[in-house]
Amino acid sequence: MIYFDNAATSWPKPAGVAAAVAGFITDGGGNPGRSGHRKAIEAGRVVYS
């Protein structure tokens, strides 16, 4: 059996991960592909880039 969910269980995370999460928390965020408002579009650009 191969377990592919490494992101949920790997530790420690790279410093860039903490910075990205902190930025999302402090700047607010949207769900990509869920709506046409500015935050959702910005989130989509991040995910799909």
1-49, pLDDT tens digit by residue?
A: 666 676 677 778 888 888 888 888 888 778 888 888 898 898 888 888 8
Contacts of 42 (CB under 8 A, 6+ apart): 29, 30
- Kindly state whether residue 3 falls inside one of the protein's structural domains: no
- Kindly state whether residue 1 falls inside one of the protein's structural domains: no
Residue 15: predicted pLDDT: 85
Confirm if 45 and 33 have CB atoms less than 8 A apart.
no
Contacts of 36 (CB under 8 A, 6+ apart): none
- Kindly state whether residue 19 falls inside one of the protein's structural domains: yes
Residue 3: predicted pLDDT: 63
- Kindly state whether residue 21 falls inside one of the protein's structural domains: yes
Q: 27 is in which domain, residue-wise?
A: 10-48
User: Which residue in the block uniquely carries the two structure tokens 């995910």?
Assistant: 47
- Kindly state whether residue 29 falls inside one of the protein's structural domains: yes
- Kindly state whether residue 4 falls inside one of the protein's structural domains: no
Number of domains in the chain: 1
Residue 31: predicted pLDDT: 86
- Kindly state whether residue 37 falls inside one of the protein's structural domains: yes
- Kindly state whether residue 2 falls inside one of the protein's structural domains: no
